[in-house]
Amino acid sequence: MILIEDLTSFVISLLIGIIGLNMVFFGFVLWRRLTRQRFFLEKDAARECYRPIVQALLAGTMSTEHAVTVLSKATSPAEREAVSGLLMTGTGEGRARCTLVHYGLGNVEQWCREAFGRRRTAELLAMIRSNQPYTPHDRKDPIPQRLRRLRMHSVPRALALDNLAALDPEWAYIFCTEGLLDASQEVRAMSIRGLGRTRLKKALPGLFHEMEKCIETRSDLSLRGVKTALIEFGIEDLAAYTPYLTHPNHRFRFFVVDSAREICNRAGAKGVLNKNDFTPEFYETVLKSSTMDSFADVRARAASIIKHFRDAGAAQALRQLLTDENEYVRLHAVRACADRYYVSLIPDVTKLMRDPKWRVRESAAEALGAIGGGLTDLYGEFIKTTDLYQSEQIAEHIQRGGLIPHIIAELHEGGEARKRAFTVVQKLALLKKTTLISTILEAPEIGDEVRMQIIQALSIAPSRPFQNALQAILKQSPSPALAGTVNAALNLRAKGGMA
């Protein structure tokens, strides 16, 4: 048996090795801290020094040649990084000028070499210089793909490509398209992101092709990543999506419609859209084809696009989708109706308050609330329905949606509104959803008259929170009338009226 003492010489050498390694680590930690500190100080100084130059370049008051001459004085890694960072801030025409400066400084060539190698760099830059369209190469890669995929090699390529993707869109398009041929998933992910950021229509076929590969599980890229790139495009680019809306693969159609939906929603958040914001082809295809699609998810997502059309055709299509056999289609259709434009659909949405699926009912309640005038229908449906699930759903919406103050306001109003609000409170009592309204009842600010009405309404089925609220009111020295109502309600409980 080998004992520890037999291993003394081995242990000694091991110990020396460990101590040596410890010293190396310690030295590296200190060296790293010192050099990084120096690096960042230098970078900050360079940024301050060269910022006016880049600003002048972006403003167009300095020529690219002059900028290259001045900025080429930045030679240390920190200075070069600072200058690159400043040049990346350009947009529009400024971005084009910055790209030329990057090229003049040799950054483009350096990044390109890191990403694609020396030989291919020459070819790609020649394409750009001569304004030729991108053409892929057909040479066999001498380096094994497995080696290329190693993060040690792929991360520097991905980072270089990320820099290239920030150049002028026409340049970035060529580099990112080339990047799609890379063996590494990380590099291709950067390419996809870059292609999205170019927002060039010619990038769309490539992106759709990648999406197709993802759907058919022929790619290791993330479908979410491709979709993120696709929704970088604007509503004016949606015309280019039209041919893909009728693709034979149903999952592909779904992702195309879904991406279009996201684009519309994003544009819709900035301003109200209508039919005229879309091309006739896109409008027709969505309205005629996507709403009739054999795949329910396509129909569902189409509803969210249609709502932005805001015309009679859209209302008709939504009405049809509200009665779809698939619950998700109904769900998306009812959500799409949550817009004041679709007041005409209130009766159709109200019908969905009786939907067998709770999510649809919940969305119908929310939609009626959002439509505005729909609240009357919401309360009406709440009073009328005998379905427990539906009642619970509306009760939840009344509480979470902050509608209790609205009900109290209606109790103040008088007439039909008061009668309706009174019945709503009674229904809440019957459903034992009285905790919130009982808490509000304790607040003297709502006025004695309304409090008495609430007490009368809740007395139909007195709950524990209601009883506690009554006790709390009595401690507030209420007016004789209110005290009388409270005592009457408490007596009712004493006679066994507790729900």
Partner 1 sequence: MHTALLHLFDYFNAVILLYFVATNCVYMVLMLICLYTVTLHSRYSARTAVAEYLDSPVTPPVALLVPAYNEQDAIVPTIVSLMKLNYPEKEIIVIDDGSTDRTLLNVIEQFQLLPMDLIYRQNLPCNGPEAFYYSPKYPELLVISKRNGGKADALNCGINMSRSPYFCTVDADTVIERDALVRLMAPVINSNVNIIVSGGVVRIANGCTLENGVLKEIDLPRSWVERCQIVEYIRTFLFGRPGWNFLNATFIASGAFCLLHRESVVGAGGFSTDTVTEDIDIIATLHKHMRAKGWKYRMVFTTDPVCWTEAPSTFKMLAPQRRRWQLGLVQTVMKHNDIIFDPRYGMLGMVSMPFHAYIEAIGCLVEAGGTILIPFSFLVGAMPFTLFLLIMGLAVGYGTLFSLGSVLLEEATLRRYPKARHLLILVLYAFIENFGYRQMITFYRAQGVIRYFTGLRGWERVVHRGISRLAMAKQA
By the criterion CB under 8 A, which residues form the site for partner 1? 1-5, 7-8, 11-12, 14-15, 18-19, 21-22, 25-26, 28-30, 32-33, 36-37, 151-152, 155, 158-159, 162, 186, 189-190, 193, 214, 219-225, 227-228, 231, 262, 265-266, 358, 392-393, 395-396, 399-402, 431-436, 439-440, 465
d(CA 105, CA 107): 6
* DSSP class per residue in 378-425: HHHHHHH---HHHHHHHHHHHHHTT-HHHHHHHHHH-HHHHHHHHHHH
CB of 499 to partner 1, least distance (A): 13
d(CA 74, CA 77): 8
Q: Are 409 and 402 in contact (CB under 8 A)?
A: no
CB of 326 to partner 1, least distance (A): 20
d(CA 495, CA 293): 62
CB of 19 to partner 1, least distance (A): 6
d(CA 258, CA 498): 52
Q: Identify which of residues 142 and 152 has a Cβ nearer to partner 1 in the complex.
A: 152
CB of 259 to partner 1, least distance (A): 9
Token pair recorded at residue 285: 């295809």
Q: Identify which of residues 67 and 365 has a Cβ nearer to partner 1 in the complex.
A: 365
Q: Are 153 and 147 in contact (CB under 8 A)?
A: yes
CB of 4 to partner 1, least distance (A): 6
CB of 268 to partner 1, least distance (A): 12
Q: Are 282 and 313 in contact (CB under 8 A)?
A: no
210 Cβ partners below 8 Å, 6+ apart?
Answer: 180, 188, 192, 219, 221, 226
CB of 464 to partner 1, least distance (A): 11
Please state the length of the chain.
Answer: 499
User: What would you report as the CA-atom Rg of the chain, rounded to the nearest whole angstrom?
Assistant: 34
CB of 279 to partner 1, least distance (A): 22
Q: Identify which of residues 124 and 190 has a Cβ nearer to partner 1 in the complex.
A: 190
CB of 139 to partner 1, least distance (A): 27
Q: Identify which of residues 107 and 393 has a Cβ nearer to partner 1 in the complex.
A: 393
Distance of CA 94 to CAs 70, 91, 101, 109, Å?
17, 5, 11, 20
Q: Identify which of residues 122 and 430 has a Cβ nearer to partner 1 in the complex.
A: 430
Q: Identify which of residues 372 and 405 has a Cβ nearer to partner 1 in the complex.
A: 405
Distance of CA 388 to CAs 146, 214, 342, 394, 477, Å?
60, 44, 28, 10, 38
Of 358, 302, 305, 361, whose CA–CA distance to 329 is shortest?
A: 302
CB of 155 to partner 1, least distance (A): 5
Q: Are 310 and 273 in contact (CB under 8 A)?
A: yes
Give kind and range of the element (H or E) at residue 255: helix 250-270
Q: Identify which of residues 170 and 396 has a Cβ nearer to partner 1 in the complex.
A: 396
Read off the amino acid at residue 275.
K
Q: Identify which of residues 17 and 372 has a Cβ nearer to partner 1 in the complex.
A: 17
d(CA 164, CA 190): 10
Q: Identify which of residues 163 and 177 has a Cβ nearer to partner 1 in the complex.
A: 163
Q: Identify which of residues 99 and 463 has a Cβ nearer to partner 1 in the complex.
A: 463
